[in-house]
């Protein structure tokens, strides 16, 4: 799979997930409760964000907690910065 953070953030559901995770880390179930898609669909969206290093996941007992990975946004930031003249 090609790593392309721009493709990862092109999906509105993934952008929603990123906005929610920016507020605070959450589990798949917490995120799935906020979207009109299935829990497996949310997991697939999170995998795309993980593959592009835009989120991290941490095991806390039986829970997997997803959070924003600020370093993952550097590639996007560097690309966008070239347009701020």
- CATH label of the domain that carries residue 61: 1.10.10.10
| pLDDT at position 2 | 54
In a domain, 39, yes or no: yes
Residue 84 and residue 45: Cα distance in Å, rounded? 30
Give the span between the Cα atoms of 40 and 30, in whole angstroms. Answer: 13
Note the maximum CA span of the chain: 48
- What is the domain range of residue 58? 5-80
Domain count, the chain: 1
**Domain-embedded: residue 85:** no
SS3 readout for 31-85: HHCCCCCCHHHHHHHHHHHHHCCCEEEEEECCEEEEEECHHHHHHHHHHHHCCCC
pLDDT tens digits along 9-35: 999 999 999 999 999 999 999 999 999
pLDDT tens, position by position, 28-70:
999 999 999 999 999 999 999 999 999 999 999 999 999 999 9
Task: Indicate whether 65 belongs to any domain.
Answer: yes
Instruction: Check pLDDT > 90 for residue 84.
Output: no
């Amino acid at each position: 799979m090609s790593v392309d953070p721009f493709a990862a953030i092109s999906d509105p559901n993934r952008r929603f997930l990123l906005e929610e995770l920016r507020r605070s880390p959450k589990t798949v179930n917490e995120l799935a409760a906020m979207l009109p898609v299935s829990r497996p669909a949310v997991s697939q969206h999170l995998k795309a964000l993980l593959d592009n290093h835009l989120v991290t996941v941490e095991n806390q007992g039986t829970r997997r907690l997803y959070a924003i990975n600020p370093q993952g946004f550097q590639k996007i930031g560097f690309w966008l910065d070239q347009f701020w003249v």
